[in-house]
Structure 1
Amino acid sequence: MLFITNREPKGSIRFKRDRTYKFDLDKNAPSNSVYYCERLEKDSYKEIGANNLLSRLKDCEAKQLLFFIHGFSNLPEKHIFPRVEQLQGYFDQKQAGLIEVVPLIWPCDNDFGIIKDYWDDQKSADNSAFAFSRVLQKFMAWRDEAKEDDPCLKRINVLAHSMGNRVLRETLSKWDKYDLANGVPLLFRNTILMAADIVNESLEEGEKGRLISQSSRNVSVYYASDDLALRSSKISNLKNKVASRRLGHTGPEDMRKTQSNVYAIDCDNFNNKYDRPKGHSYFLDNGDDQIGAVFEHLFNTIKTGRVDVEGNINRKHILG
């Protein structure tokens, strides 16, 4: 499995191709450097470099790529890699050779106490944007340098879960501010905002999250009003004097203020059945290791490039 991270490794921070890479889980400060790596097996990784990783993705069997940005308080072997393996397994089960999943790993806190971890992880998510905006700029430069008769034809998608949406939002904001002249390019075929831990006005005009819809053909917002993890998020934000409902709780505050490529998918009928008791990680199985309704829906979206909703006028859909 290939992955990209801005978690600082043990030992030297300088790049050396094919060296052993080891996560330093006691450091949760985002690194200014980015590490392009391969997971060989559990707890075994090597650094392969940006050009090598991008070339391997270009040459891989899969027709499309899905970059996965995890949520808060997630550690590599305990949470992220097993989830990506499950995602990859379900995609291969539905259609082998269609999707290659690549995790983007940012540094979550390794302390105890959910509220403390949450606030620390918010800072880490914001500061990770500088590193991941460099990844986007690196990709654009690599793509532009490709030979005319050998371009990269992969379609690119992104799935951001929970606080990973904050990482995505801030990454596009920093990329636009420091590297681009006329706004973000249309880079992603599908952007999937799953149980998004950002304010529910984020996709409106004048908000930083507007760049998400500007960089994507389709934006699918999956939400559930009884997501208990996001209730904890709201408590933490109130503690720090931030009062606003979360996008993953309500969907967009006002669909009329979002671009026409934004779709809202209500998962309230089953999120707690799929993920007891939190109702937060409901996008994989149905709680019994069987592919769930959300995965079926997002798979169709990625495969076809069209978001299945009940009506194109209000762009809303109730699942389950």
Structure 2
Amino acid sequence: MLFITNRCPRQSIKTRIHRNFDFDLADNAAGNSVFFCERLGRDVYEELGSRRFLDRVAEEKHRQVLFYVHGGHRLPEDVFPLAESLQALCEAQEPDEVRVVPWIWPCDGDRGVVHEDWDDRASADLSGFAFARALQRLLYRRLADDGTGAGGHLPKPLSLLAHGLGARVLAESLHRWRVHHLPRGVPMLFRHVFLVAADLEDTALEAGGIGEDIGHVARQVTVYFAAEDPGLTSGGVHQVAACRLGHRGPADMGRVPRHVIAVDCDDVGRRHDLRREHADFHVGLSPAEPGVVFRHLFAALMAGRVFAEDETRRLTILREG
């Protein structure tokens, strides 16, 4: 499985093509370097470098790419099974359609759903510097210029799924991308951005909000939310607003871009929805069964857009069945 990471390796941070890449799990600092790699097996990784990595993405038979930014408290070998499960569900729905590519950012690996969205906030914020560089590499490739004069092209549709604190990683990455690389604003790089149980303020997508650039980088943004998500319902001593995007959706749909769609998941059963472990949002009654959220998300990937049930409110209510 191909992946992008800003977790530092035990080896030097200097890129060396085809070297072994071993995560230093004792180091949870968010590095400014970004690495383009492949997982060959459990705890076995190889660094490819950005050009070879993007060559692989472009040459693969899958017709589109879905980048997956995981939530908090996930070590690399916690993330890969989730990404593989997501990949397997995609293959079961439509073979060779979607290639899942995770972004691995530094988490401390502690367990507990209530703590999950708190302890890693600083790492999520600081990871923006590194992933901004990855976004710039993607843009170069989109423009048939990898930045080295060697050329190249990546014509496949690109989408991105951010879960939990992964939404904060995305927001900070886009902010740093704009500040350090694109002062005139970020381009529409992605067809879809899917925000699932996003750990961002419910005003984040509004003008001036931390996630304003999310609305600029995608043709369509879909926000999946559930009021009873256990990872998003308690601010406690951390003094963070309880009303967050993954908890109640955008605070005011009139203040977010018109291509933002809200999806209310409250009516979906506990075994099928965002509340289950705050991570297995994509599975149903068994790990091999697609959940309601996944089916909605995959239909959007296939159709190229999300259609709201209530066009006036730009809202869809997901239900069992």
What's the TM-score once normalised by structure 1's chain length? 0.92
Between the aligned partners of 2:273 and 2:311, the Cα distance in structure 1 is 30
Point out 4+ residue stretches in structure 1 off by more than 6 angstroms: 112-117, 146-150
The percent identity for this pair of structures is 42
- Which residue does 1:171 correspond to in 2? 173
Between the aligned partners of 1:148 and 1:125, the Cα distance in structure 2 is 33
Aligned-pair distance for 1:88? Answer: 0.5
Is 1:189 the equivalent of 2:191?
A: yes
Between the aligned partners of 1:271 and 1:108, the Cα distance in structure 2 is 29
Between the aligned partners of 1:110 and 1:265, the Cα distance in structure 2 is 29
**Which one-letter code corresponds to 2:225 in the other structure?**
Y
Report matched runs for 1:4-15 at 5 Å: 4-15=4-15
- Which residue does 2:40 correspond to in 1? 40
Between the aligned partners of 1:275 and 1:251, the Cα distance in structure 2 is 15
- Which residue does 1:269 correspond to in 2? 267
Change (3 A) 1:261 1:318: same
Report matched runs for 1:194-213 at 5 Å: 194-213=196-215
- Which residue does 2:86 correspond to in 1? 87
Change (3 A) 1:110 1:300: closer
Is the contact between residue 251 and residue 264 of structure 1 (CA under 8 Å) also seen in structure 2? yes
Between the aligned partners of 1:133 and 1:69, the Cα distance in structure 2 is 14
Between the aligned partners of 1:8 and 1:60, the Cα distance in structure 2 is 27
Change (3 A) 1:5 1:148: closer
Residue 232 of structure 2 aligns to a residue whose secondary structure is helix
Count matched residues: 315
**Which one-letter code corresponds to 2:75 in the other structure?**
L
Is 1:109 the equivalent of 2:108?
A: yes
Aligned-pair distance for 1:149? Answer: 10
- Which residue does 1:287 correspond to in 2? 285
Report matched runs for 1:98-177 at 5 Å: 98-111=97-110, 118-144=117-143, 145=145, 151-177=153-179
After superposition, what is the alpha-carbon deviation per residue over 1:31-52, rounded to whole angstroms, capped at 9, x for unaligned?
1111111111111111111100
Structure 2 unaligned regions, length at least 5: none
Aligned-pair distance for 1:137? Answer: 1.2
Aligned-pair distance for 1:278? Answer: 4.7
After superposition, what is the alpha-carbon deviation per residue over 1:24-80, rounded to whole angstroms, capped at 9, x for unaligned?
111100111111111111111111111000011011111110000000001111x21
Change (3 A) 1:277 1:2: closer
Between the aligned partners of 2:79 and 2:43, the Cα distance in structure 1 is 12
Between the aligned partners of 1:150 and 1:207, the Cα distance in structure 2 is 35
**Which one-letter code corresponds to 1:134 in the other structure?**
R
Report matched runs for 1:49-60 at 5 Å: 49-60=49-60
Structure 1 unaligned regions, length at least 5: none
Between the aligned partners of 2:194 and 2:111, the Cα distance in structure 1 is 30
Is the contact between residue 273 and residue 292 of structure 2 (CA under 8 Å) also seen in structure 1? no
Change (3 A) 1:248 1:279: farther
Change (3 A) 1:129 1:92: same
Between the aligned partners of 1:192 and 1:173, the Cα distance in structure 2 is 18
**Which one-letter code corresponds to 2:284 in the other structure?**
N
- Which residue does 2:250 correspond to in 1? 252
Residue 127 of structure 2 aligns to a residue whose secondary structure is helix
Between the aligned partners of 2:274 and 2:71, the Cα distance in structure 1 is 17
What's the TM-score once normalised by structure 2's chain length? 0.92
RMSD (Å) for aligned C-alpha atoms: 2.1
